Structure 1
Amino acid sequence: MAQGQEKVIITCAVTGSVHTPTMSPWLALTPEQIATQAIEAAEAGAAILHLHARDPLDGRPTADPRVFDQFVPRIKASTDAVINITTGGSTRMTLEERLAYPLQEKPEMCSLNMGSMNFSVHPLARKYSQWQHDWEKPYVEGMEDLIFRNTFRDIKHILQVLGKECGTRFEFECYDLGHLYSLAHFVDEGLIEGPLFIQGVLGILGGLGADPENLVTLKSTADRLFGRGGYRFSVLGAGRHQMPLLTMGAVLGGNVRVGLEDSLYLGKGQLARNCAEQVRKIRRILDELSLEVATPEEARAMLGLKGRAAAAS
């Protein structure tokens, strides 16, 4: 298989918007912590850094460009890794809020969720009797009655203002088979050109479950829609499913994504102390599989990115 012979791109999603401070003392919250963990992850072998922002005062997700500006320039000055800014933000943010920093930064990459969906971790609220901050419990419980919105018009808008006008390419996050068909629709409409970078997301309540069979189905469906070798795929396994699914994805010829956004753990019952620990673990697994890890420059070439010099900052 041609894809299986390529080097493997490691993406690290540093903090996200799902987990809250109570869930792990190692979750990056401040700009200093986000920058430090991102830089360490890059040094450990991550070629792409997927970034969200947090309010420095209490750790809640934020889309404020002023907060992003406190850590993104430092990361860019300290590493050659590809900067990938979220356009997902959180379920409580408007599209305008989610796009505020990407449109300012014009990064090489952004994430793009390929559909509206139920997206929730509300059962996690039952695990904690005490919370560090007043916002956390209602935030987690409230996901039960929220929808992550990305309509066809929203996606079209993002593809136009970021993709066509800024030259940003996308990590297409596909949580279900229907998201692949939505992606194929936009390809047919001429709004997306290859190379495609498809991030298969498994294990989120509201999306595909973390069954190995679902990963095979996701990949075989992408093969039919885009042609085997006509795209590059990556695997994201939520929570305890992270390392097993990533290993399986790598065997299937895919790339991998780790980071405390996706899982707070390094192993069973063992919280990861930083994102770099997860990067080093998946790198050891890749080494044992005789798979080579891509450098940032190799990842740029594989994904057809515009290069870091073309970003705004």
Structure 2
Amino acid sequence: MSDKVIISCAVTGSVHTPTMSPYLPLTPDQIAEQAIEAAQAGAAILHLHARDPSDGRPTPDPAVFDQFVPRIKAATDAVINITTGGSTRMTLDERLAYPLRAQPEMCSLNMGSMNFSIHPVARKISEWQHAWEQPYVEGMEDLIFRNTFRDIKHILRVLGDECGTRFEFECYDVGHLYNLAHFVDEGLVRGPLFIQNIFGILGGLGPDPENLVTMRSTADRLFGRDGYRFSVLGAGRHQMPLLTMAAVMGGNVRVGLEDSLYLGRGQLARSCAEQVRKIRRILEELSLEVATPDEAREMLGLKGREAVAF
């Protein structure tokens, strides 16, 4: 089992907007359908954000999450992973509103405050479907995603200690690994660690293959090779090449329309499941086995699907 690869799928996120792809899932029905299809294609973990069904903007509203999360659980045995990142425009209380209510097996946790932006993308778009999109994308140039040490400590306590939720530790730079090591040293984080290394976001590490090696070797020094499981997220066109490299290095992989809208050069992905199926084909061509949801639960020490509050 230790050699099996966990496929995570981030279904919609809060970065891309409706104008950027007609296939981006926005409504609760669309999010549920794409998540279920991704699980059927081989995703063991489903990473979920919510969107306002009227215009597709990101929302932290628990009532919207409730329209698709229980439906996904009923239709799949996948691990449901709820964001605590939300978007750069949400307060910490808003970002935690649904996770605290749902008490899922897993939540994402960004390991530091950072500049996080895709504002250059706005230059390539001349017409927008909704009035909120252009200022949302352009406005990222002057926003910071906030997760201070105190914020992270609070999340670890109220979700981890009090709800039994474990975390996908999102690390966008080498310093984020050291932040995680700090919380391990403080006794606030206990293994097994699941570290999501993220490349290609403006404000974080670039998508150079050498950076993947740097993150892997740094994590080895900080946690020991057997002290963590690492996964890789490559943004945009860097998705499949970096994930293939990660798999060869013994890592796990994350796909989904949150991370990339494309399946190949100039080819929009029509669903998250298309990306899951593609990376699964690559893994199997490399003679690697894909982990089932229950195998992922055992590998990551999760509390189990019956211990959630939805």
* TM-score normalised by length of structure 2: 1.00
The one-letter amino acid paired with 1:107 is P
Q: Is residue 270 of structure 2 the alignment partner of residue 273 of structure 1? A: yes
2:259 alignment partner, one of 249, 259, 262: 262
1:160 alignment partner, one of 154, 157, 160: 157
Q: 2:250 corresponds to which residue?
A: 253
Q: 1:202 corresponds to which residue?
A: 199
Q: Is residue 80 of structure 2 the alignment partner of residue 83 of structure 1? A: yes
Q: 1:169 corresponds to which residue?
A: 166
Q: Separation in 1 of the partners of 2:251 and 2:122?
A: 33
Q: Is residue 232 of structure 2 the alignment partner of residue 235 of structure 1? A: yes
| Aligned-residue identity in percent | 85
The one-letter amino acid paired with 1:240 is R
Q: Separation in 2 of the partners of 1:128 and 1:141?
A: 11
Q: Is residue 3 of structure 2 the alignment partner of residue 6 of structure 1? A: yes
The one-letter amino acid paired with 2:309 is A
Q: Separation in 2 of the partners of 1:61 and 1:161?
A: 23
C-alpha deviations, 1:226-259, integer Å up to 9, x for none? 0011100000000000000000000000000000
The one-letter amino acid paired with 1:239 is G
> What SS does structure 1 have at the residue aligned with 2:215?
helix
The one-letter amino acid paired with 1:302 is M
Q: Separation in 2 of the partners of 1:184 and 1:117?
A: 18
C-alpha deviations, 1:23-75, integer Å up to 9, x for none? 00000000000000000000000000000000000000000000000000000
Q: 1:299: how far off?
A: 0.1
Q: Separation in 2 of the partners of 1:208 and 1:272?
A: 25
Q: Is residue 106 of structure 2 the alignment partner of residue 109 of structure 1? A: yes
The one-letter amino acid paired with 1:36 is E
Q: Separation in 2 of the partners of 1:267 and 1:106?
A: 36
Matches within 5 A, 1:278-289: 278-289=275-286
Q: 1:140 corresponds to which residue?
A: 137
The one-letter amino acid paired with 1:66 is A
Q: 1:181 corresponds to which residue?
A: 178
C-alpha deviations, 1:168-187, integer Å up to 9, x for none? 00000000000000000000
Q: Unaligned stretches of 5+ in structure 1?
A: none
Q: Separation in 1 of the partners of 2:114 and 2:227?
A: 27
1:131 alignment partner, one of 108, 128, 133: 128
C-alpha deviations, 1:252-274, integer Å up to 9, x for none? 00000000000000000000000
Q: Separation in 1 of the partners of 2:136 and 2:88?
A: 10
Q: 1:53 corresponds to which residue?
A: 50
Give structure 1 regions of 4+ aligned residues with deviation exceeding 3 angstroms: none
> What SS does structure 2 have at the residue aligned with 1:84?
strand
Q: 1:167: how far off?
A: 0.2
Q: 1:6: how far off?
A: 1.1
Q: Unaligned stretches of 5+ in structure 2?
A: none
Matches within 5 A, 1:11-50: 11-50=8-47
The one-letter amino acid paired with 1:275 is C
Q: Separation in 2 of the partners of 1:9 and 1:300?
A: 10
* TM-score normalised by length of structure 1: 0.99
The alignment of Structure 1 onto Structure 2 pairs a total of residues equal to: 310
Q: 1:208: how far off?
A: 0.2
Q: Separation in 2 of the partners of 1:57 and 1:101?
A: 20
The one-letter amino acid paired with 2:268 is L
Q: 1:214 corresponds to which residue?
A: 211
Q: 1:142: how far off?
A: 0.1
Q: Separation in 2 of the partners of 1:220 and 1:46?
A: 27
Q: Separation in 1 of the partners of 2:206 and 2:255?
A: 18
Q: Separation in 2 of the partners of 1:211 and 1:218?
A: 11
C-alpha deviations, 1:289-309, integer Å up to 9, x for none? 000000000000000000010
Q: Separation in 2 of the partners of 1:45 and 1:95?
A: 32
> What SS does structure 1 have at the residue aligned with 2:25?
coil
Q: 1:154: how far off?
A: 0.1
